[in-house]
Each structure stands twice: as structure tokens, then as C-alpha cells.
Amino acid sequence: MKRRHLLQAAAIGAATAALPTPAKALGKTAIVVGSGFGGAVAAYRLGQAGIPTIVLERGRRWDVDASGTTFCTIANPDWRCAWFEEHPPLGLDVSKTIERRAGLIAKHRGEGINVLSGTGVGGGSLVIGMFMPQPRRTEWNMVYPAEISYDLMDTVYWPRARQNLGVSTLPPDIEAAAQYKGARAWREYLAEFRKTPVPVPFAVDWDAVRRELGGTATACHTIGEGPFGSNSGAKNSVDRNYLRWATATGNVTIHPLHEVTEIREVSGLFEVRCKQINEYGDVLSTRTFVADYLFMAAGTVYTNSLLVTARARGWLPRLRAEVGKGFGNNGDFLIARLNLRKDVGFAQGGPGNLRFFDEANPYAPAEMAWEAAPVPLWAGRTTAHLILSITPERGEIRYDSATGTGKVYWPYGVMETKADKAGRDLATRLWWQTEGRYGYLFNGLPDYDRNTGHGLGSANTWHPLGGMIMGRATDFGGQSLDYPNLYCIDGSLLPGSACLANPSLTITANAERCMDLFLTA
Ligand SMILES: Cc1cc2nc3c(=O)[nH]c(=O)nc-3n(C[C@H](O)[C@H](O)[C@H](O)COP(=O)(O)OP(=O)(O)OC[C@H]3O[C@@H](n4cnc5c(N)ncnc54)[C@H](O)[C@@H]3O)c2cc1C
């Protein structure tokens, strides 16, 4: 057996090792709604502790095989990229008509903002750019209460999440490859902008990327693809780690294509109703599951949507007014830089390499990273970047009686938020320092126009957070303050911001922290 396979086998052995069932959970059962980062951690830890657990996931399974054709691409999108939509949710060709089927990315149309999220066994981990930075202490202490200690996260939970998700920075030999011109150009731009480059950690199997470069795996991350899934298998999505380990405990059953529609408490138990669908959306059956513990992990929008609906419909009437409040977009501000002077290549190798902190921003603390994209030859010299800031603005997820579900309300127009202003300010200074002041007034101009249809500016967020915020709607272990044994375990627990970081590492780490509290309390 090769050393890598031995290590993997050892890791799975250690991962599936049974733990004693806590006394309070003896003979009890659990349901987990959703199988993204939070749901996967919950499923695995519950299974490990010997608690019979059902995972209900509305999306389908996406198993990567040697054919390298599991997913469609941004360059050639089809139904596989979108959850029952007629057009791709992102990319260059957002007007292409596609079949409405159970594809990967759900687009929630909120009032004032749209929210994109991954759908499938593995949730957002199937679609993410795999950016896994850890928040810094300064910003953490600005946003998070002392009960969620930076030291504990820093010494126990972020390292544990990094280890389980296989997180590391872009290796130099890969950045040196011909396809990584964009990465090297971004390094040069940062030097010209006089910013300290900070390497971004990614949940990526770099050996699979090397196989892409060597031509023995389907090219994906080496040509700027990835948001529609990783055909080379380079993405360490949670179906390949946490969920696999959860199933291996023998205590966890995952039901794909099961969309939860109602949750209620009946005599101290939780009753969860769902529709079992096929890939075309036909309802095959309506099923009801009952358990002692309920773990909500449907992602921020859908966890809140199910809960505010249950409150409005009288199924969970005691849920407090705080539920659904404090929704934040993590300060997301997406820009493109057009007609750059430097050769950034097309179909850029990624997922990224460096970010920097914008200490000089007059509006809000901010950071910026380059995100590789499958830029076509005709649109050459273009790069995409996500700017994040810590912004005070918050929206809400409310019950919408017209649709019978929850809806995001974001009461801010264009350039009304500090996040928008911080993003515009940073993008403009970057352009001036690296192009404009040399007289290249038409090179590298930033585009953040919400109306392009490409989700620029703050038209969309990829990082919805909040609504079930710890210390306000739940305790600091994610348990509802109104319904004991009802837990939230996903992005909805975070207070609208992951502190200048893409949130998945922190969602995973916080879920680990909450599950430790649940299992040891
Ligand atoms: C294109 C894109 C790129 C991104 N890139 C990054 C990145 O590089 N780094 C990063 O940190 N973050 C990134 N994100 C954000 C990241 O995906 C989310 O922060 C993260 O996945 C949230 O984890 P979660 O556990 O809260 O829920 P999710 O991962 O969203 O999982 C929720 C699951 O619940 C399921 N579900 C929803 N409703 C129901 C229902 N009614 N019944 C049953 N199941 C249901 C969903 O199908 C989904 O599988 C990206 C997001 C997008 C859309």
C-alpha cells in the first residue's frame, strides 16, 4: 500500500472510531437537515457517538469518477449547474437556457440581494472556491462575544477543521506552471500596490491538481473552473471526508433528494416532514421522520426559512422574535478588473493564491483576494476578485405569506452600505496605484455594476450568515433558547460576518465546537 493510502486508511480508521454515547443521548435519535459543512460535522459526530441519525438533504449525490464528467463547466453550462432554474446562476453565459432540474447552485431571490448556495450531498462544499482563511484575532474580537473564545478556536477548532478538510496553501511548483500566469501577475500587482501578500489556504488536493497539469485528470482548477464542481476530484468537499466518515460509523443514513418542508415539536419530539423528489422535481412521496434531537443545517437562508415558517404557521410557536434577525452578507463585494496591462492569461489556473488586508480603508476594515476564472480568450486580461469587509449593515429573513417560505430582506440600495463604499474605494485605489497613475487610464478599470447580470458589486452574496445568532437566538453551543434539543449547526449561527474571511472554515470549526459541547454537556 502506498504511504498516502496508508495515511488515508489510518485517518478513516481514526475518524470512524466509536466514542461513548453521552448518558443523556442513550437510546435517543437525531435528524440532521442539510449536508453542507455544518450538517456533515453534526452527522459525523453524532454517528461517532453511537446516536442513530438520519440526514435529509434536498439535493442529489455527485460522485466524481474516472470519467471526469460528473459536473458541467462555467465555459459550457447545463442543467447540472442550477437548482431548478432556466439560466446558469453565475458565469459568463448567464442568459443561456438550461433545463430545470436538481442541479448544484440554488439562487434565492431576496428583496435587495440574491443569495447563492450549494445544493447536493455535500452542500456548499461542492461549489465553493475552497478559500479557507482563518479570521484574525483583532477582527474576531470586534465581532464575536467573549464566550466564543479566539484562543480556543485558534488552538483547537480551526486546526481540527483544517486537518479534516485537508487545507493548505498553493504549492510553489503549481504556481510556477504555465496556466498560473494570473496568479503570478496578481503577486506583481500586490507588490506595486505595496500590500503585504497573505497566502490563502485552500481545501484542495494538490496532487489531483498536479494530475490535471500532467494531463491524467480532467482539467478543472487549472483552467479556472470549480464553482460548478470539481471533475478532477481536487476539491476536498465534505462528501469525501466528514460524510464518508459519518456513514462508515454505521449509525448515519443520508437521504438525498429529500426536501424538508415542515418541522414541528410534538410531545417533546421533533417531527420533520419532507417531500422525496426525483431529479425533475416530481414528488415521489411525502415522508415524516421523528427524532429526539433536531440539527438544522440547511444553510443560513433555508434553516431560517424553515424556522420562521414554523413560527408563523404555529408549528414551533415559542420561537422568539430574534429568529431570522441579524442576517449579514459577510461584506461580499465582487469586482472584475478589465483590460489589464499585465498578461493574466485566460482560463486561469487557480483557485487563487494571495489576499491582502486593506488597512487604509476609510469606510470599513477590508480584504481582497484574486479568484481564478475560466476567462475566455476573447475577454482576455480580465480578473475577478472578491472583496470582504466588516460592515454593520444587517438584513432579516422573514416569513413571506405569498410563497409560504422565508425570504431575505436587505434594505439597502447601491452604495448605501459601508461594504459597497469600502469595496469601491479599495477597487479604485488599486486601479490608480497600479495603472491610472502611470497614465493607463483605461487599463484595469474595476467593474462592480450590479446590473451586468454577473452578480458584481453586492447584487449577490455567496456568504449568507446569521439569523440564528449564538447568544441571541441560540445559546453558545447552538441550542435554541426556546426549544431544548433543537440545534442550529450551520452558517446561521455566525453574526453576519466571518471577520474578513470566507466563512466555511469557521462554520466547520464552530460546528465542531458546538458538537463537542453537545456530546460532553
Ligand atoms: C459559488 C460559491 C462559491 C463559494 N466559495 C466559497 C469559498 O471559497 N470559501 C468559503 O468559505 N465559502 C465559499 N462559499 C460559501 C459556502 O458555500 C457557504 O458558506 C457554506 O457552504 C455554508 O455552509 P452551511 O453548513 O451553512 O450550509 P450549506 O453548505 O449551504 O449546506 C446546506 C445544505 O442544506 C440543504 N438544504 C437546504 N434546504 C433544505 C431543505 N429544505 N431540506 C433538505 N435539505 C436542504 C442544501 O441543499 C445544502 O446541501 C461559496 C458559495 C458559493 C455559492
Name the domain count of the chain.
1
Scan for cell 495515511, then name that residue: 7
Q: Determine whether the shortest distance from the Cβ of 118 to ligand 1 is under 6 A.
A: yes
Residue 387 grid coordinates: 472583496
How far apart CA 347 and CA 343 sit, in angstroms, is 12
- 118 within some domain: yes
Q: Is residue 253 part of a domain?
A: yes
Alpha helices in 241-293 (DSSP H): 242-248
Whether 128 is in a domain gets the answer yes
CATH of the domain at 166: 3.50.50.60
Residue 50 resides in a domain:
yes
Q: Which domain holds residue 183?
A: 22-520
Sequential pLDDT tens for the chain (521 residues): 344 444 444 444 455 678 889 888 899 999 999 999 999 999 999 999 999 999 999 999 999 999 999 999 999 999 999 999 999 999 888 999 999 999 999 999 999 999 999 999 999 999 999 999 999 999 999 999 999 999 999 999 999 999 999 999 999 999 999 999 999 999 999 999 999 999 999 999 999 999 999 999 999 999 999 999 999 999 999 999 999 999 999 999 999 999 999 999 999 999 999 999 999 999 999 999 999 999 999 999 999 999 999 999 999 999 999 999 999 999 999 999 999 999 999 999 999 999 999 998 999 999 999 999 999 988 879 999 999 999 999 999 999 999 999 999 999 999 999 999 999 999 999 999 999 999 999 999 999 999 888 889 999 999 999 999 999 999 999 999 999 999 999 999 999 999 999 999 999 999 999 999 999 97
Of all helices (H) and strands (E), which one includes residue 165? Answer: helix 158-165
In a domain, 286, yes or no: yes
Domain assignment present for 191: yes
- What is the position in ligand 1's atom list of the atom closest to the CA of 504? 11
Quote the ligand 1 centre to 36 CA distance (angstroms): 6
In order of 45, 71, 372, 408, 410, the CA distances from 461 in angstroms are 30, 23, 18, 11, 11
Residue nearest to atom 5 of ligand 1 (CA): 128
416 in catalytic set: no
- Ligand 1 atom closest to 117 (CA): 53
Do the domain assignments include residue 506? Answer: yes
Ligand 1 within 6 A of 467 CB? no
- The helix/strand/coil state of 107 is strand
Residues contacting residue 396 through CB under 8 Å, at least 6 positions apart: 324, 325, 326, 327, 408, 409, 467
Adjacency order of strands within the sheet including 486-488: 252-255, 53-56, 30-33, 293-296, 486-488
Q: Report if residue 447 sits inside a domain.
A: yes
